[in-house]
Structure 1
Amino acid sequence: MTALRLAAALTACLAAPALGQTLTIATGGSITSLDPHFFNAAPNNAIAEHIFGRLVDRDAQARIKPDLAESWRLISDTEWEFKLRRDVTWHDGRPFTADDVLFTLSRAPNVPNSPGGFGATLRSVKSASAPDPYTLRIVTHWPNPVLLPELASVFVISRHAGEGASTEDYNAGRAAIGTGPYRVASHRMGDRTELARNEGYWGGAEPWARVSYRFVAADPARTAALLAGDVDLIDQVSPADLPRLQRDQRVTLSQIQSLRLAHMGPDFSRAGPLPFVTDNEGKPLAANPFMDVRVRRALNMAINRTALAERAMDGLASPAGQWLPPGAWSHDAATQPPAFDPDGAKRLLAEAGFPNGFRMTLHTMNDRFPNDARLSQAVAQMWSRIGVQTAVEALPWATYSGRAARQEFSMSLGSWGSTTGEGLSFAKSVLATFDRQRRTGSANHRRFSSAEFDALLEQAETIMDEERREQAIFGLVRWSAQNVPMFPLVHLSNVWALKRGLVHDARMDERTLAMGVRPAR
């Protein structure tokens, strides 16, 4: 071997961790629980995907593929049959059966104190039964054309470990017994989760013996950790760090269009005075100004989305006027981002009785996705220019999410990743009327409610014909654009950075998975 080839071989060995070593990931998303049913949030779902399986899975482009169910068929418009894998065991060696799925379907929508669970995801499920240990039948209340994408969001837990277990039992690792490619070795909330390879995984053992999944909130700290060699992969790459990483020969980037929408929205839970909203003298307003659609339209028109995408997000986003980005199924080409019209916004405010505006505080998370607080600051400045003097209070996601779920904010930043790859996900979870009994609006923390919207949604979600269903979703999108229950801001891009010598499968659902990282060949 020549000296040149020897040097190249040594460089390659140093660049990529050897097969079987620890893969170290630094994520910017705070994991609030190892209970896979507690909170339907992307960071929690990402760590759960390492530990637990689902009936069906999604690939990196959000396309359905088999998981614990190896096949399925539609018996009638409202009855599905799933054939389960027979070679699956739980981490403790016990066999996986259909009874575990029955237990999962009864628990997932009913976790105590959940700030946003899976009620909306499973609301169409009327009953489930198991004719034998490896056959599952699900009957829905109505024809549900998106049952498979919805089931791809629900992690299957074991009855023997989960019966009687609390969320804390999962966080402590006692109940976190899954069928996934990794098992929990240790978990420290707000710090890291250590995972060990499941040697008996039905899909074949992963290349990494251990995975250290670390929470690092600060963007510069994640970048510094990667460049120092302390971690192998980082997610939520800061746009500010992108040029530096692009120039560094030790690093490669992985990028894809996200299904996540960043949106702003007002509180609808109170008709009377709101916290954090006053007149210009600091006195509470007699009534909630956001109940007036003219105020909502004014605030919507005052947002320069092109500036948000190009400057606040440093180009790693695109202006949004609806729930899904161009190219996604059920994106409505006729609904464009609202035109930036600050003068028109001022006229609407005056028409609504606020010629001099008012004051409010906008609450935002500051560690949920890149530039989230910066995005909120930019919107606040735009609103202040039309007379709505807007202050910003930024909070860590772990604190923010609980307070938002308790309706403590009057104006807030939110985001939603439509991981099902279609528009009903946002409509059912974020905009449908919150109703525990009907399991609608599980992420509708602002408590928007419209009987008209709910009726349109109820009709759309039962249409089995794909072309007709898409047209019905267009109707929901256009209703939202007209009535402005929330303000779409930008569609995000997902960017990861990793050590050269590794390859990464970028995902539209933004999940950062050890299973998507391999040594380069």
Structure 2
Amino acid sequence: MKKRLAGMGLAAVLALSAALVGCSSQSSTTTPAPKQQEAASGTAPASGGNSGEKVLTIASGNDIVSFDIHDHNNTSTEAVHVNMFNYLVKKDRNQKVQPDLATSWEIVNDKTWRFKLREGVTFHNGDPFTADDVKFTLERVAKDQKLLEYGNYKQIQEVKVVDPHTIEIVTNESEPVLLNRLSRLGSGMLPSKYIKEKGWDEFLKNPVGTGPYKFEKWERDDRLIMVKNDQYFGDKPKWDKLVFRAIPEDATRVAELLTGGVDIAVNIPPSDLERIDSNEGTHTATGPTQRVMQLTLRMTPGTVTENPKVREAIDLAIDEKAIVDSILAGGGTPTRTRVTPGNFGAEPSLYNTSLYDPERAKQLLAEAGYPNGIDINFSATSGRYLKDKETAELIQAMLAEVGIRAKLDLMEWSKFNETYKAKKFGEMFMISYANSMFDGSLAFDRLTTERAKGESDYSNPEVDKLLKEAEKNMNLEERAKQYQQVQKIVAEERPHIYMYQMNANYGVSDKINFEPRLDEMLFADEITLK
């Protein structure tokens, strides 16, 4: 398909995409019988078969990245981790902050917050949870610049231990969104004693948290198994076992759901929604997300994408509405910003809009000195996001229409993530980010001069200044305007080209109750048997 698309006219590609939405080629996939499928999965879902064991099996398009909660920024990994680790505070379905490992908190002064910790909590290995664990966890991510989550926690200067169940978090500046930071990826509490005694490598092989489910086994790129934690401090876990399966192929993931091999399948192609709803024993669930699909462009000196007219040409060559309509069956919204409605600091003028203009894109290339077009390297995931492979192929065809010859490298998530962390992509890569803080600050964490180095190599002193000021600004009206100004600058300079906000599609067994969350988390104890 990839080679054919590169040489097809855009109209033909769009027609093919629309046909794929209406009639999926995956529908003809041969599927094993339910009992055979159950045996293949290794764990009977939902009821647990004859054993009486209550097992919840969830299939995603990719495996988790790691058990290092500080060295990834992957929502689908966090969606699994939330069952094993607890935060100091957590967000409910309405994104309101609630107590978790901290029972109460207060602002002592502009740079100090005091938290009372829950008593009687133990890690899965029996170690008690204390203030020392909070200090160890947050200071690690706040001080190690090599960690991917460092940029979201460098605001913390230190964690003071007042007593075994009281801590004070001291920030470098006033911190308007500290609670948001503490309720998301990177803030799961780690067992300091266990890690200091056994070492980090041992923890990564046998991770320990305080959550309702504890680690049993991880077969990379296949499945992760957790079992209930009978010593959990909260409500009794609802399931005996959780199985998270990595199934990159859409057709296989859907087949597993239809034949009873899994209870929930994530990232269901739009073309399979009707099929799942009409199948006896399954239904679909769809909900909005905070996830935006984007292109990251290199502005490194000497690259063709360093030229602002080339970046603008790439932007104008892409018809985001056509992607949403033809690939996602309308399950998304074109956007020129990552700060979508519902996030603090959103700029409405950049949402639900597109600049698609292929003729102008051709002119821009000529003005940039490339009348015969350009060649670029384009990397994208295959199986990580909903219809990511098809989206990348359609973008490749759209770019070809204006003279941008994109060499497309489709990667499984594990390979893509390795390249991402090493910052070894060529001129352009496609990735989708969510916003777990629901705040403008997280949307631009990779666009400061410091964080962009080696990735986009974007550097704008005005953007750096605005983001630094907004980060500590307790005047919410001023702070919102600062983020709105950043969005306008980024939309003009295009180190990132934002394309569309995504909806999430799930396939669900009729045996269970499941409602999608806006943050895409998969809290097992919010999922119940009927």
TM-score by length of 1: 0.88
AA in 1 matched with 2:86: G
Provide runs of 4+ in structure 1 moved above 6 Å. none
Shift of 1:46: 2.0
**Residue 400 (str. 1) matches residue 430 (str. 2):** no
Which residue among 351, 368, 374 is the counterpart of 2:390? 374
Q: Does 1:158 align with 2:191?
A: yes
Whether the 8 Å contact between 2:327 and 2:391 is mirrored in structure 1 is yes
CA distance in 2, matches of 1:38, 1:327: 27
Could you report, residue by residue, the CA deviation over 1:420-471 in whole angstroms, capped at 9, with x for unpaired residues? Answer: 112210112x21223xxxxx459x8333222221111111111112222112
Q: Does 1:246 align with 2:256?
A: no
Aligned-partner Cα distance in 2 for 1:510–1:249: 26
Given that 1:120 and 1:441 are in contact with CA atoms closer than 8 Å, whether structure 2 keeps it comes out as no
Whole-angstrom CA distance in 2 between matches of 1:495 and 1:504:
12
Which residue in 2 is equivalent to 1:317? 332
Measure the CA separation in 2 of the matches of 1:211 and 1:135.
33
* Residue among 472, 482, 493 paired with 1:462: 472
Q: CA deviation at 1:386?
A: 0.8
Is 1:506 paired with 2:508? no
Shift of 1:381: 1.1
Q: Which residue of 1 aligns with 2:30?
A: none
* Residues 494 and 367 of structure 1: CA distance in aligned 2, closer, same or farther (over 3 Å): same
1:193 alignment partner AA = L
Match of 2:497 among 483, 487, 495: 487
- One-letter amino acid of the structure 1 residue matched with residue 350 of structure 2: T
Deviates more, 1:35-44 or 1:185-194: 35-44
| Paired AA for residue 499 in structure 1 | S
Give runs of aligned pairs for residues 291-330 of structure 1, distance below 5 A: 291-330=306-345
Q: After superposing the two structures, state which structure 1 stretch, 201-210 or 160-169, moved more.
A: 160-169
1:475 equivalenced with 2:475 (yes/no): no
Q: State the identity as a percent.
A: 27
Given the alignment of the two structures, is residue 205 of structure 1 paired with residue 251 of structure 2, yes or no?
no
What per-residue deviation string (whole Å, max 9, x for no partner) do you get for residues 246-291 of structure 1?
A: 22241132222111111012123x312xxxxxxxxxxxxxxx1212
One of 121, 125, 135 as aligned partner of 1:88: 121
Instruction: In structure 2, list runs of 5 or more residues that go unmatched.
Output: 1-43
2:261 corresponds to: 230
Could you say if the C-alpha distance between residues 309 and 334 of structure 1 is closer, same or farther in structure 2, counting changes exceeding 3 Å? same
Give the alignment partner of residue 149 of structure 1, picking from 180, 191, 196: 180
Contact 1:60–1:505 at 8 Å: present in 2 too? Answer: no
Give the deviation of 1:59 after TM superposition: 2.2
Question: 1:62, CA displacement in angstroms?
Answer: 3.1
- Tell me how far apart the structure 2 counterparts of residues 216 and 497 of structure 1 sit (CA, whole Å): 14
TM-score, scaled to structure 2:
0.86
Q: What letter matches 2:512 in structure 1?
A: L
413-422 or 505-514: which moved more?
A: 505-514
Please say which of residues 289-298 and 402-411 is displaced more in the overlay: 402-411
- Residue of structure 1 aligned with 2:441, choices 407, 421, 424: 424
- Contact 1:16/1:500 (8 A) holds in 2: no
1:26 Cα offset (Å): 1.1
Residues 45, 261 of structure 2: 8 Å contact kept = no
Q: CA deviation at 1:327?
A: 4.1
Give the equivalent residue in structure 2 for 1:71: 104
Q: Cα 1:111–1:251, aligned 2, differ >3 Å: closer, same or farther?
A: farther
Cα RMSD (Å) of the superposition? Answer: 2.1
Q: 2:348 is paired with a residue of what secondary structure?
A: coil
Which segments of 5 or more consecutive residues in structure 1 lack a partner in the other structure? 1-13, 273-287, 435-439
For residues 64-97 of structure 1, what are the alpha-carbon distances to aligned partners after superposition, in whole Å with 9 as ceiling and x for unaligned?
2211111111111211011111131111222211
Contact 1:53-1:180 within 8 A present in 2 as well: yes
1:90-239 maps to which residues of 2 (within 5 A)? 90-109=123-142, 114=147, 117-153=148-184, 154-163=187-196, 168-173=201-206, 176-239=207-270
Equivalents in 1 of 2:259, 2:142: separation in Å?
Answer: 43
1:407 shift after superposition: 2.9
**Where does 1:43-58 land on structure 2 (aligned, <5 Å)?**
43-58=76-91
One-letter identity of the residue aligned with 2:509 = K
Cα separation, 2, equivalents of 1:328 and 1:37: 23
Alpha-carbon distance between aligned partners in 2 of 1:110 and 1:30, rounded to the nearest angstrom: 28
How far has the Cα of 1:51 moved from its partner?
1.0
* Partner AA of 1:303 in structure 2: I
- Structure 1 residue 165: deviation in Å? 5.3
Alignment length (residue pairs): 480
In 2: Cα distance, 1:234 partner to 1:400 partner: 22
* Residue pair 1:34, 1:47 contacting (<8 A) in 2 also: no
1:156 is displaced (CA, Å) by 0.7
C-alpha separation in 2, matches of 1:505 and 1:73: 33
Q: Is it true that 1:335 corresponds to 2:350 in the alignment?
A: yes
Distance 2:56 2:198 in 1: 30
Look up the equivalent residue of 1:469 and give its one-letter code: R
Cα distance change of structure 1 residues 164 and 411 upon mapping to structure 2, 3 Å threshold: farther
Moved more, 177-186 or 84-93: 84-93
What CA distance in whole angstroms lies between the structure 1 residues aligned with 2:123 and 2:423? 39
Moved more, 444-453 or 347-356: 444-453
